[in-house]
């Protein structure tokens, strides 16, 4: 049986997990996928985000991902309702 540390180490070794990827990086990637016209501006805003902003990004990304389960990728953006996940 594999321990969680062994599984994590294996995934890290084979590049399946990026240990440097922060919640705001993932959040900006999502926003750029759904609304590419403001992508670079968003990257600049969230670059070097501190711990409290990282938590905000994590919560907002989870909100968008939950909405995507119901309506498909970028569901709220497609309907002009992205403010529903705003802080």
Q: Where are the alpha helices (DSSP H) in the chain?
A: 4-13, 23-34, 39-46, 51-71, 75-78
Q: In this structure, what is the dihedral angle of CA atoms 15, 17, 19, 25, given to the nearest 10 degrees?
A: 110
Q: How many residues are there in the chain?
A: 87
Q: Is the whole-model pTM more than 0.85?
A: no
Question: Token pair of 37, please?
Answer: 């016209």
Q: Does a structural domain hold residue 15?
A: no
Q: Name the residue range of residue 76's domain.
A: 20-85
Instruction: With cut-offs at 50, 70 and 90, classify the pLDDT of residue 30.
Output: very high
- On the question of pLDDT at 14 being above 90, the answer is no
Q: Does a structural domain hold residue 61?
A: yes
Quote the number of domains for the chain.
1
């Amino acid at each position: 049986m594999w321990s969680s540390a062994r599984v994590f180490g294996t995934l890290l070794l084979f590049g399946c997990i990026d240990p440097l990827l922060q919640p705001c990086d993932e959040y900006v990637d999502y926003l750029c996928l759904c609304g590419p016209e403001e992508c670079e501006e968003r990257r600049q805003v969230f670059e070097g985000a501190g711990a409290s902003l990282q938590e905000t990004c994590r919560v907002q990304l989870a909100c968008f991902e939950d909405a995507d389960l119901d309506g498909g990728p970028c569901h709220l953006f497609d309907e002009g309702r992205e403010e529903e996940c705003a802080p």
